[in-house]
Structure 1
Amino acid sequence: MFQLQQQKVLDFALGNTNAADLQDCGLNVNGDPEYVRQELLQAIHDKDDVAVECVLILVFKFGGAAKSSDLLAQLLVEEWHRQHENIALILKDLKDPAVMSYLVNVMDLHFPYLDYDGGQGLKTKTIAALGAIGTAESIRALEGFVDSEKKSVADAARRELRRLPQLISGV
């Protein structure tokens, strides 16, 4: 993603431009999974934190992350950007069991930019992503976090485990 395109996406996020302007500068606003994947691959290759942010803005607005759970999981544990919480939210929506190990691993990582809340936001969103997956393996992972030394993590895991019967039965 070129710098001008990045600026257009950031302007879009602030409400200073519209989807037509994004299209006019060559951005895909149709939620195309292949486009999202290619943009994420390039952002990872370049370690471009602004590009990651811009792609996620497009994903939140237009969709298209369905074929990129592996790349998003990889980004979840990378230290060079500041989009961990947003990535956890998208992974929650994707419910891909293949990303379980990344979700579990990120719980032990420390990102200094998240010190304002001790990483609580990321951990809570990650617990919710594990719950959304709803497999036996994700349930075991949640059960492991019930005994966490961090009360907020243990509480989030308990809440998610209480919600699981409702999620599984569709209630």
Structure 2
Amino acid sequence: MKKNSIKNLTISLSFIFLITTCFNLSAQEIPKSEQKSEFWKNVQFGGGFGIGIGSGYTDITIAPSAIYNFNDYVSIGAGLQGSIVSQKNYYNSSIYGASLITLFNPIEQVQISAELEEVRVNNTFRNTTTGTVKNNFWNTGLFVGLGYRVENITIGARYNLLFDKDKSVYSDALMPFIRVYF
């Protein structure tokens, strides 16, 4: 009985060694054209998506972005954004633009950000007294932010240093955010 146990153990170990060797050999034989370059290993994609629907109200936002991680502390990236907002029989707005972002992680759980955003705002207001009024303008935002980071998710707030309450697409200079990169 001991001989059979030793024989079975030897066969099992040989089989495990053979499988492990095959996987190692096949992993080393991947053509260079199929391997990720060093650049793409440091790129993460993410962004945001928002939808708000109510009685006669619609708000849809899509904001994809990508960052390049230079190291564990510094990342730089760019993003696009587009929004459509509509209040039935009163208001229509389309917003589109781009942003540049720098992320700094002094420690693993803390993320400091600086973001420059430029968006085009096209508003149309309808009123029975004044008729249709269009208000189209460019809006520039320079945001500094601070967030708590866990893995690829950061939750925090950002402040628009260029906020102008009379001519801004945002209602307040301080805004919460959730940032996710994969």
In the superposition, the TM-score normalised over structure 1's length comes to 0.26
Larger Rg: 2
* Higher relative contact order (CA closer than 8 Å, sequence separation 6+): 1
In the superposition, the TM-score normalised over structure 2's length comes to 0.25
Higher strand share: 2
